Chain A
């Protein structure tokens, strides 16, 4: 039992590191700078300037915080989904499904490094916000903000795992990724006050990751205490767990069907 646990932990970490390396094997320093620094910064600047153009300079922090936390989705959606889908595109899926490895450790391990990457991305966004755009963080409790970022990145990566499992059913992973990422720009409340949206859209918003994370980060940066955001964060965490479970079920269903029908690489 103990030995099996150790094996699974090893599988989790090795899978996490190797899948990350495999996904970003094409990264050179210029590509890293373009994809991980310039692209997120410019996308944040675009929405911050658009937002301040729409509602005035005094609301800049609303957009800076929203888009900084939204960075979690860059790793959580693109990275995690591609890590799962990458096994299919690189032809390693049959080997993976032939092993007796614990599927949960293997599946969840794909997201682990992306959670760390996502956290780094959010902090980088906030750093740009503070240094370039004058975000005031004087009332912020850094520890609580870190907890908010950790939970939000976790839940977003959970959503990414569900999309990753879906990516095994379609050829167009990038289409799914891109569409979900851009829809999150609306639904997460990064750029909009959610009360502006119709009720049915608000219902979708509150069933997605990020929404509560962004709302909590805004509260913490404006000086609220942890107790005020604890219920939001608790739900955000549960949403993450729910998406991971849904993704895992879909992953197992795909494996079961593919093995039975011999359709592992058909779709």
Chain B
């Protein structure tokens, strides 16, 4: 990734596009993914709608966005997180690391497919609330919301690379996967403000990209944030994305060393 010249860029984009297509075809029929992306957020949305009923109409869009974010995070954790590990299970990891295309490029394509697919969570929640429950829904600042959504996708794709790399490098970390789903729902304020949590947890929230994504999406959808606030969240997400890409470069160097020099990548 160090020397991206136009030739490489075109080549990489082609790899990303074909990985995207392949991943999408594989996952779109997977029942676990259907659950994580559609059913779980839908059930959480229904539950939250009933629970937050007395909070008033302005919370309806908050529920739609928040439950959609739960789907985004769950799919990032369980699907993108397993992105490289799955290749190991299928016995294709060695071929991938031996190919001239950097493995990061392949992982970016896979994550992009997963993250875009999991945006379906929000669409499903929107349909449930708007058409089935009959609540009027509107996005207060549509352009800011759209930009927030695009930056969210970018930051989630980059965050997914780090998670997948850590999971492949250290299976002990992956064993924590089940324990990481709800803590992020809590710390990132998907369905309630983090001000309700003890003060010591706030720095932890700030360290998580999904928190800034939820902040930007909630604020632009509800119209409660200023452009300054929302663009600050964008800046943080983009900053984290650059940091993740930088870190991933180092992590992938270790992965490649394990695969090519030590030949220990498949030995866990």
A30 to B178, CA, bound (A): 11
Which listed residue (B46, B51, B181, B183) contacts A50, Cβ 8 A? B51
A51 to B197, CA, bound (A): 13
Name B146-185 residues within 8 Å CB distance of A: 172, 175-183, 185
Interface residue? B31 (CB, 8 A) = yes
Closest residue of chain A to B192, judged by CB? A53
Interface residue? A238 (CB, 8 A) = no
Binary interface profile of A, 17-54, with partner B (CB < 8 Å = 1, else 0)? 00000000000101101110111001101100111111
User: Once A and B bind, how many residue pairs between them come within 8 Å at the CB atom?
Assistant: 97
Name A40-80 residues within 8 Å CB distance of B: 42-43, 45-46, 49-55
Closest residue of chain B to A32, judged by CB? B175
Closest residue of chain A to B173, judged by CB? A30
Name B30-46 residues within 8 Å CB distance of A: 31-32, 34-35, 39-40, 43-44, 46
Q: Total interface residues on B, using CB and 8 Å?
A: 34
Interface residue? B55 (CB, 8 A) = yes
Closest residue of chain A to B46, judged by CB? A186
Interface residue? A179 (CB, 8 A) = yes
Q: Is the interface of B mostly helix, strand, loop or mixed?
A: helix
Say yes or no: A38 contacts B183, CB within 8 Å: yes
Interface residue? A207 (CB, 8 A) = no
Return chain B residues, CB-CB under 8 Å to A185.
Answer: 43, 47
Which listed residue (A42, A172, A192) contacts B50, Cβ 8 A? A192
Interface residue? B196 (CB, 8 A) = yes
Say yes or no: B182 contacts A45, CB within 8 Å: yes
A35 → chain B, closest Cβ, in Å?
5
B266 → chain A, closest Cβ, in Å?
18
A108 → chain B, closest Cβ, in Å?
27
Say yes or no: B54 contacts A54, CB within 8 Å: yes
List residues of B whose CB falls within 8 A of some A CB: 31-32, 34-35, 39-40, 43-44, 46-48, 50-55, 172, 175-183, 185-186, 191-193, 196-197
List residues of A whose CB falls within 8 A of some B CB: 28, 30-31, 33-35, 37-39, 42-43, 45-46, 49-55, 171-172, 174-175, 178-179, 182-183, 185-186, 191-192, 196-197
| 13 additional A-B residue pairs with CB within 8 Å, beyond A39-B182, A172-B32, A182-B39 | A38-B179, A42-B181, A42-B186, A49-B192, A49-B197, A50-B192, A54-B53, A55-B51, A174-B35, A175-B31, A178-B39, A183-B43, A192-B50
